[in-house]
């Protein structure tokens, strides 16, 4: 939830944005910031690779290439700069520490880690904005859930006792199915390690834990199309984060991953390896799978995000709502890069405009903010439907 205590004065945005990393999720959001910011620097493994990434994005001359190391970045940070991290989540704590020491703001699309949370009080005291969970999942999924819950509250009433089912499933999948039923839209090691993490969720009104999430994969129909879904990470904190009224009792509350129909069977050899739990072997397997199923320039990805809410107060007093985002990538940009980078850029523009307070913010803090973000995302070409 947003900070509600007295806020220290925020450090005014300088107009300079440092975008760290140019991986699979970097897309037209970076171009949007080249329009919005006074100066943009793209930091990558080497200055040459940063320049190549800018060329591939059509941004040569609009952003400055830099070779990334944390000391090199820190040396160039000025008060009010904005650091946008596209690096793996374990590296965010070090970046945030550098931001706090220099009075620079921080933004990423990842979940809030404990290491980042520990630094939020210092960031807030320094007048620094810490924006997290501002991508696709997490990010747009939060906006959808907040929007549905707000509408259901108006219809059912927050004080009315009711049973609730909320499911939120998101997946990056190949637009043209292959025999593996998947193509990697983010780091293969991250995909495999996410499957090794237990999932906690609510089903049949009870807290449930799946030590191996893929073992509870089930069919799921979205807009008439058959998929497979499984729970991911820990869904329970989002009951409070989404502001579910206390009078509403969750019977189902699952945030999870969506895959093509047939994925469970196609991945059985991978699951056998994951059951062994050998870190070194899993790291090698990630490299093998990336080489065996490479993403080529001819491939097109697809992003499907389906969020559903059903509220039942009594047989004659019910409410149901759905959001569906179903995008396919094109020759210019993958659907994953479009969704993640444009959503993140939207948050960064809010930092540049001075619209976010010091301390921790997420993409969706209130229903009102969620609605504003959804309107803006629709204007920027991220199409979705609400039923």
Q: How many CB atoms lie within 10 A of CB 148?
A: 26
Cα-based angle 224, 228, 230 (whole degrees, multiple of 5) = 130
Q: What is the spatial distance between Cα 9 and Cα 2, in angstroms, rounded to a whole number?
A: 16
Tell me 11's DSSP state: P
Left if phi > 0, otherwise alpha if psi is -120 to 50, otherwise beta: which for 164?
A: beta
**8 Å CB contact between 128 and 358:** yes
Burial class of residue 29 in the structure, from the number of CB atoms within 10 Å of its CB (0-12 exposed, 13-18 middle, 19+ buried): buried
**8 Å CB contact between 96 and 121:** no
**8 Å CB contact between 189 and 274:** no
Question: How distant is the alpha carbon of residue 268 from its chain centre?
Answer: 27
Sign of the alpha-carbon dihedral angle for 308, 231, 288, 93: positive
Residue 314 catalytic?
no
Catalytic pick among 3, 118, 137, 297: 137
**8 Å CB contact between 293 and 269:** no
Tell me 40's DSSP state: E
Q: What is the spatial distance between Cα 211 and Cα 74, in angstroms, rounded to a whole number?
A: 40
Q: What are phi and psi of 176, to 5 degrees?
A: -110, 110
Q: What is the spatial distance between Cα 172 and Cα 259, in angstroms, rounded to a whole number?
A: 8
Q: Which two tokens stand for residue 371?
A: 């609605």
Q: What is the spatial distance between Cα 269 and Cα 267, in angstroms, rounded to a whole number?
A: 6
Q: What is the spatial distance between Cα 146 and Cα 242, in angstroms, rounded to a whole number?
A: 6
Q: What is the spatial distance between Cα 129 and Cα 116, in angstroms, rounded to a whole number?
A: 12
As annotated, the active-site residues are 137
């Amino acid at each position: 939830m947003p900070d509600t205590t007295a806020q220290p004065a925020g450090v005014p945005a300088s107009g300079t944005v440092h975008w760290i990393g140019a991986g699979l999720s970097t897309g037209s959001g970076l171009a949007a910031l080249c329009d919005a910011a006074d100066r943009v620097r793209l930091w990558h493994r080497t200055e040459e690779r940063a320049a190549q990434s800018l060329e591939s994005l059509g941004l040569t001359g609009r952003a400055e290439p830099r070779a990334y190391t944390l000391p090199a970045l820190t040396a160039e940070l000025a008060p009010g700069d904005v650091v946008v991290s596209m690096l793996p989540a374990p590296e965010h704590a070090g970046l945030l520490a550098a931001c706090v020491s220099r009075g620079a703001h921080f933004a990423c699309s990842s979940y809030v880690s404990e290491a980042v949370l520990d630094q939020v009080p210092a960031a807030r005291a320094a007048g620094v904005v810490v924006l997290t969970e501002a991508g696709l999942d997490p990010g747009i999924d939060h906006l959808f859930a907040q929007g549905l819950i707000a509408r259901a509250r108006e219809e059912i009433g927050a004080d009315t006792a009711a049973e609730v089912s909320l499911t939120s499933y998101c997946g990056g999948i190949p637009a043209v199915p292959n025999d593996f039923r998947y193509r990697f839209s983010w780091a293969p090691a991250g995909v495999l390690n996410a499957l090794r993490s237990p999932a906690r969720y609510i089903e049949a009104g009870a807290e449930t834990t799946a030590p191996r999430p893929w073992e509870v994969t089930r069919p799921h129909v979205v807009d008439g199309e058959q998929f497979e879904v499984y729970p991911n990470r820990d869904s329970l904190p989002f009951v409070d984060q989404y502001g579910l009224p206390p009078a509403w009792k969750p019977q189902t509350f699952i945030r999870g991953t969506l895959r093509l129909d047939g994925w469970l069977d196609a991945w059985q050899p991978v699951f056998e390896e994951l059951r062994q739990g050998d870190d070194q072997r899993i790291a090698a397997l990630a490299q093998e799978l990336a080489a065996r199923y490479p993403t080529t320039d001819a491939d097109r990805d697809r992003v499907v995000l389906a969020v559903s809410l059903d509220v039942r107060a009594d047989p004659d007093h019910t409410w149901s709502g759905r959001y569906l985002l179903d995008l396919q990538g094109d020759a210019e940009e993958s659907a994953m890069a479009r969704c993640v980078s444009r959503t993140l850029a939207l948050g960064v523009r809010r930092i540049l405009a001075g619209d976010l307070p010091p301390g921790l913010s997420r993409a969706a803090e209130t229903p009102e903010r969620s609605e504003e973000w959804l309107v803006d995302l629709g204007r920027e070409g991220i199409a979705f439907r609400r039923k």
